């Protein structure tokens, strides 16, 4: 085109303030937002209850009768209001983890379905792109807003969980459970749903139809989950490491002796002059290297998925 036909140079394009775009994204997905906030509130409440009042009865049992006579018994006798569970403190301890895992799945499904694919399928994404919003800015907002909520929500829950662990991990029945819980709580807990968000977005953009995008996002996040949960086929024998625990009975003189195995027999306890018991899980020295490595891998994959998503978007539309 010859320069002379341009009567006037196009006015500088005024970009919408990010605030408006963010408000729009919040309004569009407010139902999902409320569900997320409800989940965070409920789970945080459960964690706080487990840290405070929920632990009391079991902790008293442990102190009086030791691990065998206290925690093991209490595992089968604590009454609680919540279904989720056989009713034992030990089982409830794992429920927030289950909820966080389910929520991460939900994040991946949300990203693939309602966040991206449904908009492309119904044409509302194109509606947004023909306002003063470029597709790249649209996708940025679509990723950043949920990512902020995911990071804040899961971050808060992870902190509360770490606090609960340091306060009451001694009340857990030894076995594979405490190990897998311990090694899954940390920055990686936050990074995993972020990867779910990025994968869902990528799949949503690639598939562009809601139902298939939901299915593929679910499957993709299942692979992530399997990798994290040691079901990854290539992980082989590199399972989560042992997490040793130490139990002691303490006599009236303050001496530490090994658990006499009295269970709830008070005469036996008096005979051994046991006044209370202690029990703790020893922190694993390779927690942080493993946790940070896992977080790094998850975040790197997230970055790759996000980059691919933007690349795909750029190939689709004239993003100028």
Partner 1 sequence: MSSISTTPAVALEASGLAKRYGRRPAALDDCSFRLPTGRISALVGPNGAGKSTLLALAAGLLRPTSGTVTVLGGAPGAARDRIAYLAQNKPLYPQLTIAETLRMGAELNPARWDAACAARVVEQGDLDPKSRIRGLSGGQRTRVALALALGKRPELMLLDEPMADLDPLARHEMMGTLMADAAEHGTTVLMSSHIVAELADACDHLLLLGGGRVRLGGGIDDLLAAHTLVTGRGTPADLAPHTVIESRTAGRGLTALIRRDGLVGEGWATEEPSLEELLLAHLRAPEAPALLTPGTTATTAAVTA
In the complex, the smallest distance separating the C-beta of residue 212 from partner 1, rounded to whole angstroms, is 18
Contact 163, 270 (CB under 8 A): no
**Binding mask of the shown chain, residues 238 to 267, with x at each position contacting partner 1 by CB under 8 A:** ------------------------------
Instruction: List own/partner pairs for 296-303 with CB under 8 A and 24 or more apart.
Output: 298/188, 298/191, 298/192, 298/194, 298/195, 298/224, 299/191, 299/194, 299/195, 301/195, 301/198, 301/224, 302/191, 302/194, 302/195, 302/197, 302/198, 303/198
CA dihedral sign, ordered 94, 100, 103, 108: negative
208 binds partner 1 (CB under 8 A): no
66 and 247 Cβ atoms separated by less than 8 Å: yes
268: left (phi over 0), alpha (psi -120 to 50) or beta: alpha
Binds partner 1 by CB under 8 A, chosen from 61, 122, 151, 180: 122
Site pattern 29..68 for partner 1 (x: CB under 8 A): --x-------------------------------------
Piece in contact with partner 1 (CB under 8 A), picked from 27-35, 49-57, 226-234, 262-270: 27-35
Only one of the segments 55-63, 117-125, 225-233, 254-262 lies at the binding site for partner 1 (rule: CB under 8 A); that segment is: 117-125
Min CB(206)–partner 1 separation in Å: 15
Between 96 and 114, whose beta carbon lies closer to partner 1? 114
Any idea of the CA torsion for 29, 34, 35, 39, to the nearest 10 degrees? 140
- Footprint (CB under 8 A) of partner 1, residues 3-22: 3-7, 9-10, 13-14, 16-17, 19-21
Name the phi and psi angles at 209, rounded to 5: -130, 140
Region 129-148 residues binding partner 1, contact defined as CB under 8 A: 129-134
The answer to the question of residue 315 lying near partner 1 (CB under 8 A) is yes
Question: 24 or 295, CB closer to partner 1?
Answer: 24
Q: Which residue, 136 or 304, has its beta carbon nearer to partner 1?
A: 136
Q: What is the DSSP string of 57-124?
A: HHHHHHHHHHIIIIIHHHTTT---S-SSSSS-HHHHHHHHHHHHHHHHHHHHHHIIIIIIIHHHHHTH
Looking at 169-286, list the stretches that DSSP marks H as alpha helix, in order from N- to C-terminal side: 176-184, 187-207, 210-228, 266-271
Beta carbon nearer to partner 1, 53 or 123? 123
In this complex, which beta carbon is closest to partner 1, that of residue 136 or of residue 268? 136
The single residue among 53, 79, 81, 123 that binds partner 1, judged by CB under 8 A, is: 123
Comparison of 10 and 233: residue with beta carbon closer to partner 1:
10
Task: Please report, as ranges, the residues that interact with partner 1 according to CB under 8 A.
Answer: 1-7, 9-10, 13-14, 16-17, 19-21, 23-24, 27-28, 31, 122-124, 126-134, 315-320
């Amino acid at each position: 085109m010859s320069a002379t036909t341009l009567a006037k140079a196009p006015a500088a394009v005024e970009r919408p303030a990010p605030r408006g775009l963010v408000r729009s994204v919040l309004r569009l997905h407010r139902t999902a937002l409320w569900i997320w906030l409800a989940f965070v509130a409920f789970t945080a409440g459960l964690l706080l209850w487990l840290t405070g009042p929920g632990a009391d009865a079991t902790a008293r049992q442990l102190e009086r009768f030791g691990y065998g006579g206290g925690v093991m018994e209490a595992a089968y006798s604590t009454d609680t209001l919540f279904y989720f569970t056989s009713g034992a403190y030990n089982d409830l301890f794992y429920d927030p983890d289950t909820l966080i895992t389910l929520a991460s799945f939900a994040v991946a499904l949300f990203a693939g379905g309602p966040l991206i694919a449904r908009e492309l399928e119904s044409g509302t994404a194109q509606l947004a792109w023909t306002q003063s919003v470029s597709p790249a800015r649209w996708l940025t907002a679509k990723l950043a807003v949920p990512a902020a909520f995911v990071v804040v929500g899961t971050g808060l829950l992870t902190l509360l969980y770490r606090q609960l662990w340091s306060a009451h991990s001694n009340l857990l029945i030894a076995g594979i459970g405490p190990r897998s819980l311990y090694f899954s709580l940390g920055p990686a807990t936050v990074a995993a749903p972020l990867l779910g968000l990025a994968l869902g977005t990528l799949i949503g953009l690639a598939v562009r139809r809601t139902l298939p995008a939901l299915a593929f996002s679910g499957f993709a996040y299942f692979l992530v989950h399997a990798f994290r949960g040691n079901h990854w086929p290539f992980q082989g024998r590199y399972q989560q490491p042992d997490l040793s625990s130490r139990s002691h009975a303490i006599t009236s003189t303050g001496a530490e002796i090994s658990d006499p195995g009295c269970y709830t027999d008070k005469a036996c306890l008096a005979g051994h002059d046991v006044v209370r018991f202690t029990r703790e899980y020893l922190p694993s020295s390779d927690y942080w290297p493993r946790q940070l490595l896992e977080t790094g891998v998850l975040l790197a994959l997230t970055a790759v998925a996000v980059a691919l998503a933007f690349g795909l978007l750029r190939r689709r539309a004239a993003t100028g």
